[in-house]
Amino acid sequence: MKIVILAAGIGSRLENPLPKPLIRLTNNKTILVQQIENITTFFSIHDIVLIVGFKKDLIMESFPELIYIYNQNFDQTNTSKSLLKALQKYSHEGVLWFNGDVVFETNILKTILPYIKQDISFVCVNTAKVGEEEIKYTLNKSGYIKELSKQVKNGIGEALGINFISSKDIKILIHYLEECDAQDYFEKGIELAIEQGGIDVKPIDISEFKCMEIDFEEDLQKANEIF
């Protein structure tokens, strides 16, 4: 299994000159350092792959031992195409991936490990009330993810930027990520793979744990309060 961190974006909404993974929290760790420390509690650092783009050298210099994939079109594409680059390279195994701006506690990894071992595709979610800018989700009658996007109406919670695609589903997701427009989020590819490709994606509720994505300055302030 490979572990992918999507770290290619500019992160313009935060109005910070650095790539978001290099933003420093008040505990004096960058988002990326905190992610790597948590991930390597359960996984080998040699299985971690970073998708880089914006100011890539700064990220690569901070963790020279990691594997890197360069999205040269980082300023013209969104996360669907960054994730696609990784999945195309590791298309015969399961892939766990994280958004490069998600801050989380290690108990989440302990929770998702059994699903990874069973090779079950999943999206980590919480059931909090969500705003317009969040990736929302609904479920089908079998309890699997049905819709997954910012445009979802009456969403029952939000996706948190921690996801896994199983070895049996990965080629289907690759196909639908290829179908996505350049500016689509990877959640569009998951939604298409569910709707048209017939895969089942389980929602893993991690509401009891600390986990949040940092998109705006107020998100950073909140993260600094709870981590």
Specify the DSSP class assigned to residue 94: -
Q: What is the rounded CA–CA span in Å between residue 206 and residue 222?
A: 18
**Please, where are the H alpha helices in 23-78?**
31-39, 56-62
Q: What is the Cβ-side half-sphere exposure of residue 44, based on CA atoms within 13 angstroms? A: 5
- Kindly report, residue by residue over 116-136, the tens digit of the pLDDT: 999 999 999 999 777 777 899
The pLDDT value recorded for residue 223 is 85
| Direct distance between the N- and C-terminal alpha carbons of the chain, in angstroms, rounded to an integer | 28
pTM: 0.95
Q: Inform me whether the pLDDT recorded for 12 exceeds 80.
A: no
Name the average pLDDT for the chain. Answer: 94
pLDDT of residue 226: 83
By DSSP bridging, strand 67-70 and strand 136-139 are unpaired
Contact 89, 163 (CB under 8 A): no
Residue 14 has pLDDT above 80, yes or no: no
Question: Residue ranges of the domains in the chain?
Answer: 2-226
Percent of the chain with pLDDT over 90: 84
Largest CA distance in the chain: 47
CB crowding 185-209: b at 16 or more within 10 Å, else e: bbbbbbbbbbeeeebebbbbebeeb
What is the pLDDT at residue 128?
78
The pLDDT-based confidence of 204 (bands split at 50, 70, 90) is very high
**% of the chain residues with pLDDT over 70:** 100
pLDDT at 89: 96
85 contact partners, CB below 8 Å, separation of at least 6: 51, 69, 71
Instruction: Residues 2-226: name the CATH superfamily.
Output: Spore Coat Polysaccharide Biosynthesis Protein SpsA; Chain A (3.90.550.10)
Mean of the pLDDT values across residues 206-222? 90
The 10s digit of each residue's pLDDT in 47-71 is: 999 999 999 999 999 999 999 999 9
Whether 15 shows a pLDDT value over 80: the answer reads: no
Residues 138, 156 contacting (CB under 8 angstroms): yes
